[in-house]
């Protein structure tokens, strides 16, 4: 068993992990509050969710340095859940149904990890990944635009200019400071510098406190989360109500978490454990369900902030989570003073770092189908959610792959000195290529003895096996004999209908000698 490592010493340091963790904690506060309002729950529920998701996944997860918390992708699903739950059970019931849903969603995610479904994230093609990060960057960008509104109206005049100026200053610090030194995270320097500027000059601009108050809250100070079992009827009706929501939340959470894991892997040139991360995400959501948090999943924006700030080990995520809890308990007054503009500037730079700008340079160099997949996933991520976009992208990519490979099967034919006709098959035989495969054979005009060689082919599915069975049947009905060479072991086991007609070669035989009734004297080299 691999030993738990609090600090990845090969790629990070204690100082970097602590400073990057503090930076991430500062960025988590306003987002957790914003996502709580999106989901229709109290800000403290969002903050608790961010704290518990971050702590549990940092300790148990399979990707050190990745940050989890309350997210917009899952919050959007929770809106209808909380609203309908309140209508079913009265005021406050929606929140209880949310907690119960998180318990079931967490269980689904744990089972996905136990049964090692995390490996299927490797089936997500690169164009889907590009579309995902592009769409996510656009979603993060558009989410920040709401910060430029007051009472539902766009800012105007000096207040707008002040906001834009502070955002630009934050982005400038984030861009320039790393060129001076990387010993201190630029994000932390930017947030502290802009906050001090606003406090010292008394500039009229929105802060975290005013943002919370504008959304109906009174502040972010609270106590420790408390264990509670969701107060709802535990019956079939409840299960049938929460199960679809739990499945969607679990799917979205796993997809976003595992794709973020892959992205962080590429940024750090390391390798995370997808199945372990699935179990950690599920455990964290169950803890949220019992402890009063809104749950969530991996956060690509905060994860990138952490990695770019030098956070590599589990310590960075633990520091971020514990710092967030300390802010909630003791430092709320200071966090409330942070200008929203500083956080918006930080997120704008995350957008710049998240968007796959290489899309524009490769779009005319890649197959048209891949370009369309990138566009499709980007649009669906913005319009719907990550799960819909990724699933659609994978399906389209798979169909394109199947279509292209369906056209690649071919056969080389010749008749040897004994009058036996040989068909040497090239390319995969599967549901998409069956029709083209059948067209290669001339049963009526072939000699009485036929050999089909699959040395350069692969029978990929049941459709391919059935095609072979049907081919054998046609030759039998024509009074002719057919022999198959070099079928894969798994295919040989599955061919049952043609068992009386076909005797395949032994794969281990280096000379590929075949012993077939009526072919005893034929041993091809």
Give 295's pLDDT tier (boundaries 50, 70, 90).
very high
485 φ/ψ angles, rounded to the nearest 5 degrees: -110, 150
pLDDT given at position 507: 36
Q: CB-based contacts of 236: which residues, under 8 Å, 6+ apart? A: none
CB 256, CB 75: distance < 8 Å: no
pLDDT at 3: 53
Q: Cα separation of 411 and 439, whole Å?
A: 10
- Residue 276: count of CB within 10 angstroms of its CB: 17
pLDDT for residue 493: 67
Cβ–Cβ < 8 Å for 301, 308: no
Do strands 297-298 and 68-69 pair parallel, antiparallel, or not at all (unpaired)?
antiparallel
Of 242, 250, 245, nearest to 281 by C-alpha is: 250
Burial level of 443, CB count in 10 A (0-12/13-18/19+)? middle
pTM: 0.72
Under 8 Å between Cβ of 131 and 352: no
Give me the pLDDT at residue 504, please. Answer: 43
Q: What angle do CA 278, 281, 286 make, to 5 degrees?
A: 125
How far apart CA 374 and CA 74 sit, in angstroms, is 23
Cα atoms found within 13 Å of the Cα of residue 471, Cβ hemisphere only: 25
Amino acid 66: pLDDT: 95
Nearest 5°: CA angle at 469, between 468 and 471? 65
> 146 phi and psi, to 5 degrees?
-65, -20
- Across the range 313-337, mean pLDDT stands at 89
- In terms of C-beta density within 10 A (0-12 exposed, 13-18 middle, 19 or more buried), how is residue 180 classed? exposed
Contact 198, 185 (CB under 8 A): no
- Exposure of 1 by Cβ count < 10 A (0-12 exposed, 13-18 middle, 19+ buried)? exposed
Residues 6 or more apart from 333 whose CB is under 8 A from it?
221
Neighbours of 395 (CB within 10 A): 12
pLDDT band, very low/low/confident/very high, at 246 (cuts 50, 70, 90) = very high
Residues facing residue 30 across a β-bridge: none
Name every residue whose Cβ is closer than 8 Å to that of residue 298 and which is 6 or more positions away in sequence.
Answer: 57, 63, 66, 67, 68, 71, 253, 256, 257, 260, 261, 277, 281
Report CA 146 to chain centroid distance, whole Å.
26
Mean pLDDT of the chain: 85
Strands (E), 94-181: 149-150, 153-154
Give the pLDDT of residue 221. Answer: 66
What pLDDT is stored for residue 288 in this prediction? 97
What are residue 150's DSSP bridge partners?
153
CA distance linking residue 412 with residue 426, whole number of Å: 8
Q: Where, residue-wise, is CATH 3.30.750.24 in the chain?
A: 410-494
pLDDT in tens, 405-456: 888 899 999 999 999 999 999 999 999 999 999 999 999 999 999 999 988 8
- Name the residue with higher pLDDT: 522 or 382: 382
pLDDT in tens, 130-176: 898 898 788 878 878 888 888 778 999 999 999 999 999 999 999 99
Question: Which token pair is 307?
Answer: 């990695």
β-bridge mates for residue 482, sequence order: 450
| Residue 243 pLDDT | 93
- pLDDT tens for 71-106 read 877 887 898 899 899 888 877 789 999 999 999 999
Mean predicted confidence (pLDDT) in 60-66: 93
Tokens at 330, concatenated: 């003791």
Q: Tell me, what's the pLDDT at 458?
A: 84
The span from the CA of 61 to the CA of 109, in Å, is 13
For domain 410-494, give the CATH number: 3.30.750.24
Report the 3 state secondary structure along 106-130.
Answer: HHHHHHHHHCCHHHHHHHCCHHHHH
Percent of the chain with pLDDT over 90: 43
Question: Residue 272 in contact with residue 65, Cβ under 8 Å?
Answer: no
Q: Which helix (H) or strand (E) holds 414?
A: strand 410-415
Tokens read off for 394: 């994978």
Between CA 268 and CA 216 the distance in angstroms is 41
């Amino acid at each position: 068993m691999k030993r738990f490592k609090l600090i990845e010493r090969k790629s990070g340091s204690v100082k970097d992990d602590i400073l990057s963790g503090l930076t991430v904690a500062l960025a988590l506060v306003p987002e957790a509050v914003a996502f709580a309002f999106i989901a229709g729950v109290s800000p403290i529920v969002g903050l608790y969710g961010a704290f518990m998701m971050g702590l549990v996944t940092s300790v148990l997860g399979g990707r050190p340095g990745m940050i989890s918390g309350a997210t917009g992708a899952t919050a959007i699903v929770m809106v209808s859940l909380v609203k309908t739950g309140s209508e079913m059970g009265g005021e406050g019931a929606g929140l209880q149904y949310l907690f119960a849903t998180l318990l079931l969603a967490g269980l689904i995610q744990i089972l996905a990890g136990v049964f090692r479904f995390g490996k299927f994230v490797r089936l997500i093609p690169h164009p889907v990944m590009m579309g995902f990060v592009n769409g996510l960057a656009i979603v993060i960008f558009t989410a920040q635009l709401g910060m430029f509104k007051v009472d539902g109206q766009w800012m105007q005049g000096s207040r707008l200019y002040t906001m834009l100026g502070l955002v630009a200053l934050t982005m400038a610090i984030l861009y320039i400071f790393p060129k001076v030194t990387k010993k201190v995270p630029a994000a932390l320097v930017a947030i502290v510098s802009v906050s001090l500027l606003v406090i010292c000059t008394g500039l009229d601009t929105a802060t975290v406190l005013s943002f919370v108050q504008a959304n109906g809250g009174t502040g972010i100070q609270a106590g420790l989360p408390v264990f509670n079992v969701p107060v709802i009827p535990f019956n079939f009706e409840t299960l049938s109500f929460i199960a679809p929501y739990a499945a969607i939340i679990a799917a979205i959470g796993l997809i976003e978490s595992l794709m973020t894991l892959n992205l962080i892997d590429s940024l750090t040139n390391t390798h995370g454990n997808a199945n372990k991360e699935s179990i950690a995400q599920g455990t964290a959501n169950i803890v949220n369900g019992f402890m009063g948090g809104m749950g969530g999943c991996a956060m690509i924006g905060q994860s990138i902030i952490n990695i770019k700030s030098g956070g590599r080990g589990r310590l960075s995520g633990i520091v971020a989570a514990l710092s967030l809890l300390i802010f909630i308990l003791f430092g709320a007054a200071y966090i409330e003073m942070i200008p929203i503009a500083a956080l918006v500037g930080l997120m704008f730079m995350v957008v710049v770092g998240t968007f796959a700008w290489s899309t524009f340079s490769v779009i005319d160099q890649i197959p048209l189908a891949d370009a369309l997949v990138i566009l499709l996933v980007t649009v669906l991520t913005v319009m719907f959610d990550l799960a819909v976009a990724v699933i659609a992208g994978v399906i389209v990519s798979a169909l394109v792959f199947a279509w292209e490979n369906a056209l690649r099967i071919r056969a080389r034919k010749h008749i040897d000195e004994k009058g036996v006709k040989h068909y040497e098959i090239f390319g995969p035989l599967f549901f998409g290529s069956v029709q083209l495969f059948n067209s290669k054979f001339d049963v009526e005009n072939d000699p009485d003895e036929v050999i089909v060689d699959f040395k350069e082919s692969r029978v990929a599915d049941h459709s391919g096996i059935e095609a072979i069975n049907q081919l054998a049947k046609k030759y039998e009905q024509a009074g002719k004999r057919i022999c198959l060479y070099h079928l894969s072991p798994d295919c040989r086991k599955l061919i049952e209908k043609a068992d009386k007609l076909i005797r395949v070669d032994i794969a281990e035989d280096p000379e590929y000698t075949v012993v077939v009734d009526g072919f005893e004297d034929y041993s091809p080299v």
